[in-house]
Amino acid sequence: MLPFFDSTTLVDDPEALQARFHLDGYVFVRGQADTDALTDLRRQTTDIMTEAGWLDPDRDPMDAVATRVPTVEGEEDYHHVYDQIQALESFHAVAHQPGVTRVMQGLLGPTAFPHPLSIMRLVFPHNDDWATPAHQDHPNNQGTPDLYACWMPLADCAADAGALAILSGSHKLGLLPLEYSLGAGNRRAALDERVDDFDWVVSDFELGDMVVFSSLTLHRSLGNSTDRMRLSVDFRFQREHEPLTAGCLEPHFGRQTWDEIYEGWSDERLQYYWRDKSFPIVEWDASLHAIDDEQHDLGVEEKMRYNVARAQLARDHGWKSMPHIDKDYEDVRASLAAERETSLAAERETSRQGQ
Ligand SMILES: O=C(O)CCC(=O)C(=O)O
């Protein structure tokens, strides 16, 4: 895979930065985010994970070495931890750091602001079936076409540690249809032969680096072949006075209210800050996110296979499993045993008739 084009030297030249963004559908810049703040956030995040028993107690928690079966968005084990992370002031504060604001205002102009919907990804190793598939953000977020995502890891993140890759120039393809996929969002873009005209690009990230991409740019995560979790944050920005869908103003997954999240925060400027801004709220169009029944059925099958593989992984490592994946494991084993019994009976009948 080719490396990112490095736009760090363009940060003080908004016109050149924007030109690069419009050419490639992304910019990658090094060393812009405050590394102390990111390290502090990583410490608080790994403390929560340690408390939940996710991490190897014999290793430095900051290494985030996982010792449990991978759990993913949508599962209670995941949300038990993620709900606590959602309430961290230091997490939401990253989107407002001066270094981040500088890049985002360079790209979007002086009214650029982050959506309060802030996302952290807790990506397990040994879990490449769940790597984020190639997709565009527009079907999820909708609203203004000039909605840009800013992705950064919470530690150095080599490409093979699950970094985010970009299909350079792919924003020019327009909006692509969707298919079911395992991985964050459960949707992938249906790629056609036109993508062969573009190159996937990625680089080893160092703490403080970020990649910013448009809501039509295809992006995906690479597999994580380390023993560490890949922890990263992604925030979405837009200009004032441009349309926005209501979901972008809610906490990720909507499991808590902002009042619950803000309990105990010290900086009031980070709370409800968007209420002073002006933008039209537009309907979220469910048809842009829909997949057909056949894709749904394929999804159920894929999820079942994934659960069986995870239940097997838990058994191989002696890790505690999760009831719903154990159930899929037992169901699949029972149906395989029944199939085997039926075919043995058929074989017995055939050989009896042949005697
Ligand atoms: O970090 C990931 O794996 C997914 C990130 C992503 O898809 C995004 O920021 O839009």
pLDDT, tens digit, for every residue of 267-289? 999 999 999 999 999 999 999 99
Domain that holds residue 43: 8-290
Looking at the chain, the whole-number percentage of residues with pLDDT higher than 70 is 100
Q: Which ligand 1 atom minimizes the distance to the CA of 119?
A: 9
Give the amino acid at 126. Answer: H
Residue 354 has pLDDT above 80, yes or no: no
Angle at 210 (CA atoms; ends 116, 132), nearest 5 degrees:
75
Q: 88 - beta bridge partners? A: none
To test the pocket of ligand 1, the residue of 115, 137, 148, 151 to mutate (highest count of ligand atoms within 8 Å of its CB) is 151
The pLDDT assigned to 345 comes to 86
Residue nearest to atom 8 of ligand 1 (CA): 234
* 136 alpha carbon – ligand 1 mean position (Å): 10
Residue nearest to atom 4 of ligand 1 (CA): 132
Q: Per residue in 111-127, pLDDT tens?
A: 999 999 999 999 999 89
Residue 197 has pLDDT above 70, yes or no: yes
Helix locations, 94-241, DSSP H: 98-108, 138-141
Span 300-307, mean pLDDT?
A: 92
Beta strands in the chain (DSSP E): 26-29, 113-123, 148-153, 164-168, 178-180, 187-189, 199-201, 210-214, 219-221, 230-238, 244-245, 281-282
Q: Which ligand 1 atom minimizes the distance to the CA of 232?
A: 1
Q: Residue 255: which of 74, 53, 37 has the closest Cα? A: 74
To test the pocket of ligand 1, the residue of 82, 122, 137, 164 to mutate (highest count of ligand atoms within 8 Å of its CB) is 164
Indicate if 280 and 301 belong to the same structural domain: no
Q: Per residue in 58-83, pLDDT tens?
A: 999 999 999 999 999 999 999 999 99
> Considering its fold, how many domains does the chain have in total?
2
pLDDT category, 350, cuts 50, 70, 90? confident
Query: Using CA atoms in the order 180, 132, 160, 107, what is the torsion angle rounded to 10 degrees?
Result: 140
pLDDT category, 344, cuts 50, 70, 90? confident
Token pair belonging to 333: 């084993």
Indicate if 94 and 151 belong to the same structural domain: yes
* 51 alpha carbon – ligand 1 mean position (Å): 26
pLDDT category, 353, cuts 50, 70, 90? confident
The pLDDT assigned to 355 comes to 65
d(CA 154, CA 96): 16
Indicate if 142 and 224 belong to the same structural domain: yes
Indicate if 35 and 83 belong to the same structural domain: yes
Q: Per residue in 219-270, pLDDT tens?
A: 999 999 999 999 999 999 999 999 999 999 999 999 999 999 999 999 999 9
Q: What residues flank ligand 1, with Cβ below 6 Å?
A: 121, 132, 137, 149, 151, 164, 184, 219, 221, 232, 234
* 43 alpha carbon – ligand 1 mean position (Å): 21
Indicate if 280 and 316 belong to the same structural domain: no
Residue 175 has pLDDT above 80, yes or no: yes
Indicate if 345 and 275 belong to the same structural domain: no
pLDDT category, 292, cuts 50, 70, 90? confident
Indicate if 310 and 285 belong to the same structural domain: no
